[in-house]
Amino acid sequence: MSTQSNTAQRRALAIAYMEKALAELEADEDAIVAMRLQHALDVARGEEAPQPSVKD
């Protein structure tokens, strides 16, 4: 079940990145949007491991 859990985690993280990208697209931040969407795609494809959030 570890694989299913990992897949669900990657999907959830990708969705979060896409939501951020959508908000930035609405603000016309095209370069940032492209970077966030690329990162979301990489995470969803498993090309980059999800990073834990860092709290200040």
Domain residue limits, the chain: 2-45
Other CB atoms within 10 A of residue 13 CB:
19
Token code pair at residue 15: 């969705």
Considering all CA atoms of the chain, what is the largest pairwise distance in Å, rounded to the nearest integer?
Answer: 41
- State pTM to two decimals: 0.52
For the stretch 1-42, pLDDT in tens is 578 888 888 888 888 887 787 777 766 657 777 777 778 778
The C-alpha atoms of residue 45 and residue 25 are separated, in whole angstroms, by 22
Average pLDDT value for residue range 38-51 = 73
Contact 43, 10 (CB under 8 A): yes
DSSP 13: H
